[in-house]
Amino acid sequence: MRKRPLGRHRLRVGLLVALSLVVALTSVAAAAAARLTVKPHAGQACNRLKTPPKGFACVKNKQGQYRLAACTGSGACTPQAAVSAFIKALQSGDGAAACALLTDAEQKLFVRNAAEITPALDGSSCASVVQSFKAAIGAKSALLGGTLSNVNFVGAQAGGTWVYVGTGGQQAALLTKTRKGWLIDQSSNDFPTALLHFFD
């Protein structure tokens, strides 16, 4: 019987062992990657300094921990996000986006007050007020930016103070949590209407 060369046999065995190790390591790496790639979900821990995944907001719970909260509808996940989004929509003249962040009652009040405060605005609808606001206020719109601070929650309502970065001024804001998310609502010291006084 003819014997096979021993060196070639050992080489084949070595290649098979190496191939098996590669396959095993690939499987381990794939399993580890699958564990690390977790889809965002409500209640998941989050970093408030980082932008949350699309459709979520990073909010502080009653225990003082930051967790992801899901956004639904046309409203916002948090009071802060609602007011910030409204300001940005107002600055860009996006009537649909701005008015979607107001309750129905607040939209009507906003339109009525706009007609009373300045004739420079088109008061035929909420969207038209926002659109004409951008054109009328011009470069002053940059002064509207700011942050909502000192937010307090009472049931489905939240109150806070919008602090203007450009002027240092402050304005109280009231919001209500609805099925659409957080919406700016009516208050005795009406937040959206106060913005119209930038024409003064």
Is the pLDDT at 57 greater than 80? The verdict is no
C-alpha dist (Å) from residue 172 to 7, 18, 169, 191 = 85, 69, 11, 6
pLDDT at 99: 93
DSSP 40: P
DSSP 76: B
Is the pLDDT at 68 greater than 90? The verdict is no
Is the pLDDT at 49 greater than 60? The verdict is yes
Mean pLDDT across the chain, nearest whole number?
78
User: For 146-175, how does the pLDDT look when each residue is reduced to its tens digit (9 = 90+)?
Assistant: 888 899 989 889 999 998 887 778 888 999
DSSP 62: T
Q: Measured between alpha carbons, how far is 14 from 22 in angstroms, rounded to an integer?
A: 12
| 185 shares its domain with 149 | yes
pLDDT at 66: 80
Query: Does residue 22 fall inside a structural domain?
Result: no
| 65 shares its domain with 153 | no
192: left (phi over 0), alpha (psi -120 to 50) or beta: alpha
| Contact predicate 193/109, CB 8 Å | yes
| 46 shares its domain with 105 | no
- Among the listed ranges 16-25, 39-48, 152-161, 184-193, which one has the minimum average pLDDT value? 16-25
| 141 shares its domain with 188 | yes
Q: Measured between alpha carbons, how far is 53 from 131 in angstroms, rounded to an integer?
A: 30
User: For 87-136, how does the pLDDT look when each residue is reduced to its tens digit (9 = 90+)?
Assistant: 999 999 999 999 999 999 999 988 988 888 777 788 889 999 999 988 88
| 44 shares its domain with 118 | no
Query: Does residue 28 fall inside a structural domain?
Result: no
| 85 shares its domain with 55 | no
37 or 152: which carries more pLDDT confidence?
A: 152
Query: Does residue 31 fall inside a structural domain?
Result: no
Range of the domain at 97: 79-199
pLDDT at 86: 92
CA atoms within 13 A on the CB side of 181: 22
| 63 shares its domain with 149 | no
pLDDT at 42: 77
| 64 shares its domain with 118 | no
Residue 18: pLDDT band with limits 50, 70, 90? low
pLDDT at 184: 92
